[in-house]
Amino acid sequence: MTDDIIHPAHDGLHYQEVLSALSKKRSVQRYLEIGVCGGQTFAKVSCETAIAIDPYFLLNTNVMFGKKQAFFFQMESDSFFRTTDANRYLGGAPDLVFLDGMHVFEYLLRDFHNVEKFCAKHTLIAIHDCLPLTRTMANRSEEIAREMSKGSFYENWWTGDVWKLVPIIKKYRPDLRIVAVNAPPTGLVFITNLDTQSQVLSDKYLDIVGEFMGESSSKALDSFYETIEIVTTEAILNHFDHSLYFRS
């Protein structure tokens, strides 16, 4: 089973605490989260106005904590973007976005492209689960990942193959700034310097999906960590100059 491990456990601050701290540090007014489930992360983000999108909410906490208003859309993110003007509800572009919906890369690619249109250049997009720890948890099938992980230390962990968004963005959108962070359990990736007008990811969507769907691109996970630098959550949150990492 140890053969399965591709990276040691991330030892920074938990991703929910990082997003909570960032929302305060950046004085976030408008927040949007895709894939909300019980609302544990959503509840920790402080802001004036928030949008939550999930086809199957399982809210079990005080999601309104620290917020004036929040809008809940119980639908798939694709349907949301087909039908809804996010900025009309938010009252402007979001300051912080968290993408944590369907964990296969082609869905995340659409979520990223669709939400970028509603963002400002300085909006910070955070993405969950892009730094998997084993090959098994990065399987495209949640069922297979669960079955294969039985009895292992990482039993039932599933990130899917959303890590592929990192090489995709690096190749197709070199204009964007990407910062990978050691937030447990499975990392956070931040993207800034957005371009609401860019059509590259939608124009090349089918080519990109074809390119990254194959077996060879899944094998690229073995060398994935050699291609990225991982910044500590401490540096992101405590560095004397926050703008070294993100525009503010």
Ligand X SMILES: C[S@@+](CC[C@H](N)C(=O)[O-])C[C@H]1O[C@@H](n2cnc3c(N)ncnc32)[C@H](O)[C@@H]1O
Q: Give me the residues that bind ligand X (CB under 6 A), please.
A: 34-38, 40-41, 53-56, 76-77, 100-102, 107
Q: How far is the CB of 51 from ligand X (least distance, A)?
A: 12
Q: How far is the CB of 75 from ligand X (least distance, A)?
A: 8
Q: Which is nearer to ligand X, 30 or 128 (CB)?
A: 128
Residue nearest to ligand X (CB): 35
Q: Which is nearer to ligand X, 141 or 248 (CB)?
A: 141
**CB within 8 Å of 224: residues ≥ 6 apart:** 6, 163, 166, 167
Q: Which is nearer to ligand X, 34 or 50 (CB)?
A: 34
51: enclosing H helix or E strand? strand 49-53
Q: Which is nearer to ligand X, 74 or 227 (CB)?
A: 74
Residue 51: how many CB atoms within 10 A of its CB?
25
Q: How far is the CB of 175 from ligand X (least distance, A)?
A: 26
Q: How far is the CB of 38 from ligand X (least distance, A)?
A: 6
- Structure-token pair, residue 30: 């408008």
The CA distance from 50 to 53, in Å, is: 10
* C-alpha 211 chain-centroid distance: 21
Bond into 185 cis (ω within 30): yes
